[in-house]
Amino acid sequence: MLRLAELFNSIADDLEEGARIFRDELRSEQPFIRDLCEHIERFHGKQLRPALVLLTGQACGGARPEHRVLAAVVEMVHLATLVHDDVLDEADIRRRSATVSRQWGNESAVLLGDFLFSHAFRLCSSLDDQFASQLIGRTAVTLCSGEMMQVSNCDNHDLTEAEYFEIIKGKTAALIGTCCLLGARYADADERAVRRMNEFGVGLGTAFQIIDDLLDLIGDEREVGKSLGRDVDKGKLTLPLIHYLRTCTSPRRKEMLALLRGDNARRDGQIAALLADSDSLEYARQTAHKHVRNSLDILAELPPTEARTSLTAMAEFIVARRQ
Amino acid sequence: MLRLAELFNSIADDLEEGARIFRDELRSEQPFIRDLCEHIERFHGKQLRPALVLLTGQACGGARPEHRVLAAVVEMVHLATLVHDDVLDEADIRRRSATVSRQWGNESAVLLGDFLFSHAFRLCSSLDDQFASQLIGRTAVTLCSGEMMQVSNCDNHDLTEAEYFEIIKGKTAALIGTCCLLGARYADADERAVRRMNEFGVGLGTAFQIIDDLLDLIGDEREVGKSLGRDVDKGKLTLPLIHYLRTCTSPRRKEMLALLRGDNARRDGQIAALLADSDSLEYARQTAHKHVRNSLDILAELPPTEARTSLTAMAEFIVARRQ
């Protein structure tokens, strides 16, 4: 199986430098803060967002010092939302490590998330121009709005596909779009290219979240490395279930709704079985593919470079991944 | 009893304009977000921080459009920390209203705090120069660090006075100092005056927090309008107790430590009685007075204006307040 890290050869040094800026920014005199920050180093995981800033920068003319700073910024924003998500979701496992909230309590997790957010904004405002600060501020607002829309639709079994897409655009795709926009803009790409790279990222992020939601329903906990079935537990309807409830027969719909409203221990398996017996999983996968194809079309507008090849492989990886 | 609002006559229009900017910034299409934002309007309370931006601006040469934007920014940062504090402290009452976490769950409270933080940064980055963004970013980091230091010293009955001051400087005084610094700086005050106004605010904020902690120990819940005795419940040692444990006799120390470590329902009254029988409450009050006196000395360096008179009265109010 292809590993994402293999696509990052052309940006290996920049990624390393971004990680150094990340660590330097979070350095603290306080042993407690040092412990927490050491712990979250383990969450870094795929480094998808920093890689996108750097690769789109390279693909649009070349990565500069600003790209490395912004790589650290977007990773901080992302980790802040992960840490706060863990408070929300009472998740037990995150990347095979204990979550911050489980190990140090909700108090520490809320503060650590705020600490990461604050550092992201501070670091961003250290750049010469306001552009990144303004965009990161706006993107953070969009992120929160998406999450809040999700919370307010908890247990709403009539959630429409349009509403689902609005939620995932806010909570996931907006930040990924911003990564690509920043990459292009700080490489001095022209206005149209900057807008297109944002669209590339939004498509990629949308596909990424659809697959993430699919894995939460039918993935293997050991492979994925985090608690699964959380969306159903928290009353969050995702694309396969939205499609299923809209297209299945009336008795099946009743059966599925009863499972979603109930709380029996074998529920996850029963929901997965109903889905496997329908074309809803395939529908979700095809929808993700459609978004990725659109993103690949945008990439084709760029001159051929190693960075563009990596972005292409990354987009293909995202719909093929099992974790 | 003097009410703070009476000191704000000279800035009434600017405060109103700041409140309008605040509401406009948080405007949302989502009914759920609108409900939450309407709810937090009730927390506004004293408007201490916006008033400080505007009054120091006036006292240092005149308030400008930037001051009104920054008044909204500092209130957003403050409310974000209040909303997140309510998650942390499981507080039941905040300004005689239900807390966000109690009414809508921890999930919503965490997201609403993030939403307020994000809007504060976004609004700040809309100013022409980076100065405020950089300072607000740095101040938010200091705020989180202070809160984290407090959490990491939970149940530490050997907390020193120096450590206590480091905590309250971070969690309270830094933001109040920043309000005054911004007020002076955006009124084009010279470098020394900007630095002095920051010191003024840090002193004021330190006194404010000492009195807040005192009221948590011995205040009247109906007068103060929020849950009291929370610090002891959460294992947070504040100035009167630090002084008491350092200066009392050995048997009294044992008695106090047993109360702090225990959990009997009448504990608050027993702790208050021990403190009332010592000079520790007076010590804390005198320490607050000392900080306010230093702040008043700094004000005396400014030319006499209505704004300076209001700042003086505000400083005196802070150590005299019973709520």
Average pLDDT value for residue range A250-273: 91
Question: B232 or B138, which is more confident?
Answer: B138
Test the A interface: residue of B88, B110, B230, B234 with most A CBs within 10 Å: B110
DSSP-based helix, strand, coil % in chain A, nearest 5:
75, 0, 25
Give per-residue pLDDT as tens, B24-58: 999 999 999 999 988 888 777 789 999 999 999 99
Residues on chain A touching B28 (C-beta within 8 angstroms): 145
Q: How many pairs of residues across A and B have Cβ atoms under 8 Å apart?
A: 153
CA distances from A64 to A17, A46, B61, B284 (A): 11, 22, 41, 53
Name all contacts of B189-194 with Cβ < 8 Å and 24+ positions apart: B189/B60, B189/B61, B193/B60, B193/B301, B193/B302
Q: In terms of Cα–Cα distance, which of B103, B268, B74 is closest to B176?
A: B74
B136: contact with A, CB 8 A cutoff: yes
At the second CATH level, the architecture of B4-320 is Orthogonal Bundle (1.10)
Residue B146 dihedral angles phi and psi, to the nearest 5°: -60, -45
Residues on chain B touching A130 (C-beta within 8 angstroms): 125, 130, 133
Give per-residue pLDDT as tens, B265-277: 788 889 999 999 9
Contacts of A13 (CB under 8 A, 6+ apart): none
- Among the partner-chain residues B105, B106, B114, the one whose CB lies closest to the CB of A144 is B114
Give per-residue pLDDT as tens, B138-189: 999 999 999 999 999 999 999 999 999 999 999 999 999 999 999 999 999 9
Q: Give percent of chain B above pLDDT 90.
A: 74
Mutual angle of helices A191-218 and A306-320, in 10-degree steps: 30
Categorize the per-residue pLDDT at A98 as very low, low, confident or very high, splitting at 50, 70 and 90: low
pLDDT at residue A8, rounded to an integer: 83
pLDDT at residue A97, rounded to an integer: 53
B151: contact with A, CB 8 A cutoff: yes
Does residue B221 have a pLDDT over 70?
no
Residues on chain A touching B141 (C-beta within 8 angstroms): 115, 118-119, 122
Test the A interface: residue of B117, B123, B131 with most A CBs within 10 Å: B117
Question: B321 or B214, which is more confident?
Answer: B214
The complex scores an ipTM of 0.92
Does residue B231 have a pLDDT over 70?
yes
pLDDT at residue B267, rounded to an integer: 86
Strand partners, B97: B94
Does residue A87 contact residue A109 with C-beta atoms inside 8 Å? yes
A133: contact with B, CB 8 A cutoff: yes
Residue corresponding to tokens 């909700």: A106
- Among the partner-chain residues B87, B118, B144, the one whose CB lies closest to the CB of A137 is B118
Q: Is the whole model's pTM more than 0.95, yes or no?
A: no
Test the A interface: residue of B139, B141, B175 with most A CBs within 10 Å: B141
pLDDT at residue B121, rounded to an integer: 98
Angle in degrees, CA A109, B168, B172, rounded to 5:
80
Q: Where are the domains of chain A?
A: 4-320
Q: Of A161-165, A229-233, A277-281, B40-44, which range is least confident?
A: B40-44
Residue in chain A nearest B106 by alpha carbon: A88
Give per-residue pLDDT as tens, A202-244: 999 999 999 999 999 987 766 666 666 788 888 899 999 999 9
A69: contact with B, CB 8 A cutoff: no
Average pLDDT value for residue range B61-67: 96
Q: SS3 for A93?
A: strand
